Amino acid sequence: MLVNLKRAFMLAGVALSLLTLPSCGKFNSDGNTSAGAPAVTPVTPAPQSAPTAQTLPDFSSIVQANSTAVVNIRTTASTKAAESPGPNFRGDPLFEFFRRFQIPQPDVPRGGIGSGFIVSSDGVVLTNAHVVAGAGNVTVKLSDRREFKAKVVGSDAQTDIAVIKIEAKNLPVVKLGDSKSARVGDWVLAIGSPYGFENTVTAGIISATSRALPDGAYVPFIQTDAAVNPGNSGGPLFNMKGEVIGINSQIYSQTGGYQGLAFAIPIDVAMKVQRQLTETGRVERGRIGVSIQEVSQNLAKSFGMDMPRGALVASVEKDGPAAKAGIEPGDVIIAVNGVKVETSSQLPPMIADIKPGESAKLDIWRDGGQKSLTVKVDPMHGVDRDKTGRNAAPQEGGRLGLAVRSLTNEERRAAGVPGGGLLVEDVSGPAAQAGMQEGDIILSVNGTPVRDAAQLRALVANKAQVALRVKRGEAILFVPIELG
Report pLDDT digits (tens) over 213-240: 866 678 999 999 999 999 999 999 999 9
Lowest mean pLDDT, pick from 186-190, 222-226, 304-308, 390-394? 390-394
Measured distance CA(470)–CA(13) in Å, rounded: 75
pLDDT above 90 coverage of the chain, percent:
48
**Would you state the torsion angle of the CA atoms of residues 173, 174, 178, 182, taken in this order, to the nearest 10 degrees?**
-170
Count CA atoms within 13 Å of residue 198 on its CB side.
16
> 412 and 418 in contact (C-beta within 8 Å)?
yes
Residue 386 has pLDDT above 50, yes or no: no
Which pLDDT value is given to residue 189? 96
| Residue 160 falls in the annotated catalytic set | yes
Instruction: Look up residue 441 and give its amino acid.
Output: I
**Before 85, cis peptide (omega within 30)?**
yes
Measured distance CA(200)–CA(197) in Å, rounded: 6
- Place 371 in a pLDDT band, splitting at 50, 70 and 90: very high
For all residues of the chain together, what is the average pLDDT?
A: 80
Residue among 193, 233, 315, 345 flagged as catalytic: 233
Measured distance CA(211)–CA(349) in Å, rounded: 12
Fold (CATH) for 175-280: Thrombin, subunit H (2.40.10)
Lowest mean pLDDT, pick from 159-163, 212-216, 328-332, 447-451? 212-216
pLDDT above 70 coverage of the chain, percent:
77
| Residue 381 falls in the annotated catalytic set | no
Domain spans, the chain = 175-280, 286-379, 395-482
Lowest mean pLDDT, pick from 21-35, 116-130, 159-173, 275-289? 21-35
Residue-wise pLDDT for 425-438, tens only, equals 877 778 877 888 88
Measured distance CA(182)–CA(206) in Å, rounded: 8
Measured distance CA(434)–CA(127) in Å, rounded: 43
Residue among 67, 120, 130, 253 flagged as catalytic: 130
Task: Provide the CA 316 distance to its chain's centre, in angstroms.
Answer: 24
Are domains 286-379 and 395-482 of this chain identical in fold? yes
- Place 8 in a pLDDT band, splitting at 50, 70 and 90: very low
Count CA atoms within 13 Å of residue 23 on its CB side.
5
Helix (H, G, I), strand (E, B) or coil at 192: strand
Using alpha carbons, select from 481, 402, 479, 482 the residue that is nearest to residue 438: 402
- Place 15 in a pLDDT band, splitting at 50, 70 and 90: very low
CATH of domain 286-379: 2.30.42.10
- Work out the number of other CB atoms within 10 angstroms of the CB of residue 433: 12
Which pLDDT value is given to residue 463? 82
Which pLDDT value is given to residue 28? 40
Residue 1 has pLDDT above 50, yes or no: no
Mean per-residue pLDDT, 290-302: 91
Which pLDDT value is given to residue 374? 96
> Which one is predicted more confidently, 20 or 103?
103
Residue among 155, 156, 160, 193 flagged as catalytic: 160
Residue 76 has pLDDT above 90, yes or no: no
Lowest mean pLDDT, pick from 79-83, 148-152, 444-448, 472-476? 79-83
- Give the CATH class of 395-482: mainly beta
> Which one is predicted more confidently, 133 or 125?
125
Which pLDDT value is given to residue 150? 95
Which pLDDT value is given to residue 452? 80
- Place 97 in a pLDDT band, splitting at 50, 70 and 90: very low
> 292 and 315 in contact (C-beta within 8 Å)?
no
Helix (H, G, I), strand (E, B) or coil at 95: helix
Which pLDDT value is given to residue 16? 36
Using alpha carbons, select from 289, 353, 339, 287 the residue that is nearest to residue 310: 339
Measured distance CA(192)–CA(230) in Å, rounded: 10
| Residue 315 falls in the annotated catalytic set | no
